[in-house]
Amino acid sequence: MTAFQAFIFDLDGTLVDSEALHFEAYHEVIEKYGGTLSREEFIEWWLIKAKGMRWAIESQKLVVDAAVAKLEKAQRFQTFLKEGVSVMPGVKKILDFAKRENISLAVASGSRLEEVDAVLRASGLAEYFPVRFGLDSVKQNKPDPEMFLAAAKQLGVTPDECLVFENTPMGIEAARAAKMKCIAAPSRFTMGVDLSGADVLLRSLNEWTPEILRSRT
């Protein structure tokens, strides 16, 4: 039996291989209004530095209201999502382990809650996660710990009873600030990004085993 009472998961790139859908949606909208967004820029500004659509509009002096651009991005993302999205390797065995061990589960994502719900439904993971937090669920997004602490409170556990699963530096930073242990594994978009701040770093969540939990300090 593990000493952890709750597993808190990031969504995009951790639970589900959905980062490419976000990238394509952002890219199409920014390009529509005369801007540019490369894959490398998306990785650095969105996944590492947590900048959003407003920053892209202002930095490139695009002539569009940020609220309009955000809505168009959300609509494109939902359209792409209908084509299907894959669960990340290793995720199902972790979720099944949690279910067997009566470990509570939550999602804490930098995406809006509407998108969180849609991705979980599309990936077939909705039933695992009654507790969900998104960007619009809290005042401060990652790397602030607010989202993780709110998830722990709703689950009825203390921070030291939580294990966080992440794939970005800002997610790892948020977990550490919340005083929670963190396992990290890179996605296709964060491969090569420094994730060394995690307590355990895997090449893929497919490498995860229950024995990893026994090394908890």
**Is 65 one of the catalytic residues?**
no
Burial class (CB in 10 A: 0-12, 13-18, 19+), 207: middle
**C-alpha to C-alpha distance for 89 and 101, rounded to whole angstroms:** 20
Name the one residue in this structure whose structure tokens are 């809505």: 71
- Can you list the alpha helix ranges (DSSP code H) found in 60-160? 66-81, 91-100, 113-123, 146-155
* Catalytic residue positions, numbered: 10
